[in-house]
Amino acid sequence: MKIDLHLPFRHWPLKLLALVIATALWYGIAAEDKVDITMSVPLELRNLPPNMIIANQYQKVLDVSVRGSKRLLQEVQQQHLSRPVDLAKAEPGQTVVVQNTPQSVPFPRGVMVQRVQPANVTLQVDQLVERQIPLSARTVGTPAKGLILDSVQLKPATITVSGPRSLIGSVQTIETAPINVAGMNRNHTVQVSLALNSTLKALIGETMVEGSLLFRAALTRRTVPVRVHLKPEEKGLAVVPGTVNVTADIPLVLAQSTPDLASLFHASINASETGRNGWAPIRIETDERHDQVSINIVSVRPDQARLFRDSRESKESRSTKEARETKEPRFTKEARETKEPRSTKEARESHETREQPPDAKQRATPPVLEPAIKEPLS
């Protein structure tokens, strides 16, 4: 078979022209398809131990400038590439510096990385802890006259926070936003947010709690002299001391509206509670009309009193004696007097005359008190 060696060179001008045109078209199309874009590539932390956490705020997304064909870059964007960081060997308290280079992100062939920002990312590794932190209420303003804020009950009373030990380990309590109680005259319930710094807000987020505001009457402490009474009453008995000092916390409005504070109290001793020598405890009661205002007894001085009886009337009263004498027959009285020897009677009268002062008959004999009760009364 005869081969024509001149065949490849036949019509060579036309073939050369076609090659030039094809080359020009390829370069034109390829040059037109190249674009420059900036992509957001997330930082992906891998193999971080479950009991550890990154304590600091760091940039979680990298800005990567790349060049490549439009079609290829569109495919890359759909793949959701990330910048991997292996933290398998991290320890609590360690500082990890992540260096970002053009080779850090696994782009496919045909994509050229021009710049990565930031070039370095710092990570503070810390131990992950969980704590129950108590909440406290912060209030401003003054309630209505005569009332004070007794307490604020928060629901929940604590909040669970998980985070780095270095950030939440020293937090003792979390306050609420200010609660304005100005002019309030009754118990009230409000919804209030927590006053969080940026670190806690990042860990907890916006949180609302319920606060129950409980008010009570404003109290003033007064010491009031109160008369002591005997229960049940019995003639011929005296209570010593007759007055005691009662120290009590009284609602301010009630104290200001009551001219005689002693009317708010009733002091008494019970004869059935008397021991040997006549001592008995003093009982203090508040006026029943004021029970709703909660008067608080602080102290009673003295807290015991003693019963005494007039010695001249300890066996019989004077009136009973006079009545008996008026009913005694005259001859019986005279007979009783005649039985006494005259000499003895004269001697007794002479002795009584010498013992009495000149004006003894003109002066009233003072009562003599003696302990009334030797044994407990029943």
If asked whether residues 187 and 231 sit together in one domain, one would say no
Mean pLDDT score, 172-198: 94
If asked whether residues 261 and 337 sit together in one domain, one would say no
* Boundary residue ending a domain (104, 128, 152): 128
For residues 138 and 79, what is the distance between their CA atoms, to the nearest angstrom? 51
Angle at 366 between CA 363 and CA 368, to 5 degrees: 155
Flag whether pLDDT at 367 surpasses 50: no
Q: What is the pLDDT of residue 327?
A: 54
For residue 22, being part of any structural domain is answered with no
Mean pLDDT score, 65-94: 90
Residue 138 Cα distances to 22, 155, 196, 200, 270, angstroms: 81, 14, 13, 18, 50
In the chain, the amino acid numbered 133 is I
Mean pLDDT score, 94-101: 93
Whose structure tokens read 């003693």?
306
For residues 23 and 26, what is the distance between their CA atoms, to the nearest angstrom? 5
For residue 73, being part of any structural domain is answered with yes
Q: Which two tokens stand for residue 331?
A: 């001859």
DSSP string, 59-72: --EEEEEEEEEHHH
Q: What is the pLDDT of residues 106-128, one digit of tens each?
A: 898 888 999 999 999 999 999 99
For residue 349, being part of any structural domain is answered with yes
Please report which confidence band the pLDDT of residue 237 belongs to, taking 50, 70 and 90 as the band edges. Answer: confident
In the chain, the amino acid numbered 190 is V
If asked whether residues 203 and 274 sit together in one domain, one would say no
Flag whether pLDDT at 369 surpasses 50: no
Evaluate whether 68 touches 35 at the Cβ level (below 8 Å): yes
If asked whether residues 229 and 298 sit together in one domain, one would say yes
Whose structure tokens read 């782009």?
107
For residue 376, being part of any structural domain is answered with no
If asked whether residues 251 and 304 sit together in one domain, one would say yes
CB atoms within 10 A of CB 325: 9
162 Cβ neighbours under 8 A, 6+ residues apart: 128, 129, 130, 203
Q: What is the dihedral of CA 106, 110, 112, 116, to 10 degrees?
A: -30
* Boundary residue ending a domain (93, 128, 163): 128
Evaluate whether 265 touches 298 at the Cβ level (below 8 Å): no
For residue 245, being part of any structural domain is answered with yes
Q: What is the pLDDT of residues 342-354, one digit of tens each?
A: 554 555 555 444 4
Boundaries of domain holding 193: 137-217
If asked whether residues 202 and 240 sit together in one domain, one would say no
Question: What contacts 24+ positions apart, CB below 8 Å, involve 317-322?
Answer: 317/236
For residue 17, being part of any structural domain is answered with no
Q: What are phi and psi of 83, to 5 degrees?
A: -100, 105
**Residue 373 or 217, more confident:** 217
Residue 133 Cα distances to 25, 108, 130, 176, 196, angstroms: 71, 49, 9, 13, 13
If asked whether residues 148 and 175 sit together in one domain, one would say yes
Q: Which two tokens stand for residue 243?
A: 């007055």
> DSSP label at 79?
H
Q: What is the pLDDT of residue 289?
A: 57
**Residue 34 or 244, more confident:** 244
Alpha helices, H only, 114-230: 165-168, 198-204
Bridge partners (DSSP) of residue 162 are 130
If asked whether residues 123 and 147 sit together in one domain, one would say no
As for how many domains the chain has, the answer is 4
For residues 68 and 118, what is the distance between their CA atoms, to the nearest angstrom? 22
End-to-end CA distance of the chain: 156
For residues 189 and 211, what is the distance between their CA atoms, to the nearest angstrom? 6
If asked whether residues 42 and 121 sit together in one domain, one would say yes
For residue 290, being part of any structural domain is answered with yes
Strand 158-164 versus strand 112-117 pairing type: unpaired
If asked whether residues 233 and 288 sit together in one domain, one would say yes
Strand 265-270 versus strand 219-231 pairing type: parallel
- Global pTM reads 0.54
| DSSP reduced 3-state for 309 | strand
Q: What is the pLDDT of residues 267-325, one digit of tens each?
A: 999 888 888 788 899 999 987 554 456 788 999 999 999 888 755 454 445 555 455 55
**Residue 10 or 153, more confident:** 153
- CATH label of the domain that carries residue 234: 2.170.120.30
Q: What is the pLDDT of residues 315-331, one digit of tens each?
A: 445 555 455 555 555 44
152 Cβ neighbours under 8 A, 6+ residues apart: 137, 139, 179, 211, 212, 213, 214
Q: What is the side-by-side strand order in the sheet with 188-193?
A: 147-155, 208-217, 188-193
Q: Which two tokens stand for residue 221?
A: 């402490």
For residues 168 and 134, what is the distance between their CA atoms, to the nearest angstrom? 12
* Boundary residue ending a domain (195, 217, 239): 217
Mean pLDDT score, 81-86: 93
If asked whether residues 83 and 54 sit together in one domain, one would say yes
For residue 277, being part of any structural domain is answered with yes
If asked whether residues 343 and 363 sit together in one domain, one would say yes
Evaluate whether 370 touches 309 at the Cβ level (below 8 Å): yes
